[in-house]
């Protein structure tokens, strides 16, 4: 990667964040919780399966949605047919919060992804205890051995790992590491520009049997149909929904 990217800086800051609740306390809470909802099942069968992302801001675009009420948005997007929800929990660049995840968990019945920059087991414990059904693991910031360990740890807690790649070599690493679900991100990590051709090309590198998710830059039904033709099983859509006056209506338009 070119110099120290925004992604690397955020990941390091998140790894060094204070541990607000002792790990032993999180484990005790998890032991008494019901099983995770089946995140992978949301992408089986016919139809267009969208992970609708609750995102207030981003480092490249700044504030995306000033009128950000995660519980109301979650209910609206669930009613509009979202297969799952992604909840940003990174507080500094994305203005997210683990509290948003907890609040949304109590309001909807569809599976939830904790979208954050995860590099240690404690963050995975946090996700499970807050009600997540899946976590994001980003190949660009994880060595192969660490990725494999974190994926295994997440799955031991009942969580699904959505494993994100931005290049062919990252797809290959994730496959070697046992990924069952791979998201291909169209965003360039150096300058945060988006090219759908990047992710369209990467979809073909994912072996059959692995769930394929297209991420970033999807703005229209035409974009979705292009990815469907290349074998995408699902779509993670954030900014396009969050900029819409009525996100539920926008989701219905995209997935009709």
Q: Catalytic residue among 55, 119, 126, 232, which?
A: 55
Which candidate in 164, 239, 250, 255 is catalytic? 164
Residue 1 burial (CB count, 10 A) = 11
The two three-digit tokens of residue 120, written as one number: 């240690």
Rounded CA separation 206/185 (Å): 13
Catalytic entry in 58, 86, 119, 185: 185
Active-site annotation holder among 90, 126, 215, 239: 215
Q: Is residue 216 annotated as part of the catalytic site, yes or no? A: yes
Kindly name the residue from 53, 76, 90, 239 that is annotated as catalytic: 53
Per 3-state DSSP, the chain is made up of helix, strand and coil in percentages (nearest 5) of: 40, 20, 40
- Whether 53 is catalytic: yes
- Please give the backbone phi and psi of residue 17, each rounded to the nearest 5 degrees, phi first: -65, 145
Residue 82: CA atoms inside 13 Å, Cβ hemisphere, count? 30
Reduced 3-state DSSP string for 81-136: CCCEEEEECCCCCCCCCHHHHHHHHCCCCCCEEEECCCCCHHHHHHHHHCCCCEEE
Q: Which of 90, 115, 126, 170 is catalytic?
A: 115
Examine the residue annotation and report whether 164 is marked as an active-site residue of this protein.
yes
State yes or no: is 55 an active-site residue. Answer: yes
Decide if 170 is catalytic.
no
Catalytic residues: 53, 55, 115, 164, 185, 215-216
């Amino acid at each position: 990667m070119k110099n120290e990217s925004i992604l690397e800086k955020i990941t390091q800051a998140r790894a060094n964040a204070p541990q607000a609740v002792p790990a032993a306390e999180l484990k005790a809470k998890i032991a008494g919780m019901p099983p995770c909802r089946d995140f992978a099942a949301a992408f089986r069968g016919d139809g267009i399966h969208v992970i609708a992302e609750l995102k207030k801001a981003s480092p490249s675009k700044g504030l995306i949605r000033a009128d950000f009420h995660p519980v109301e948005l979650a209910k609206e997007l669930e009613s509009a047919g979202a297969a799952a929800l992604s909840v940003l929990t990174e507080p500094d660049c994305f203005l997210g919060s683990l509290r948003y995840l907890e609040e949304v968990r109590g309001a909807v019945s569809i599976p939830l992804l904790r979208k954050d920059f995860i590099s240690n087991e404690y963050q995975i414990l946090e996700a499970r205890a807050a009600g997540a059904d899946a976590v994001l693991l980003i190949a660009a910031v994880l060595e192969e051995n660490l990725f494999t360990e974190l994926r295994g740890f997440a799955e031991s807690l009942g969580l699904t790992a959505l494993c994100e790649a931005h290049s062919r070599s990252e797809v290959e690493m994730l496959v070697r590491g046992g990924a069952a679900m791979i998201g291909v991100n169209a965003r360039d990590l150096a300058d945060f520009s988006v090219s759908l051709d990047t992710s369209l090309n990467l979809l073909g590198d994912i072996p059959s049997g692995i769930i394929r998710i297209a991420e970033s830059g999807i703005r229209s039904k035409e974009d979705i149909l292009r990815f469907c033709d290349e074998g995408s099983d699902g779509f993670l859509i954030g900014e396009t929904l969050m900029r819409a006056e009525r996100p539920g209506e926008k989701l219905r338009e995209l997935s009709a």
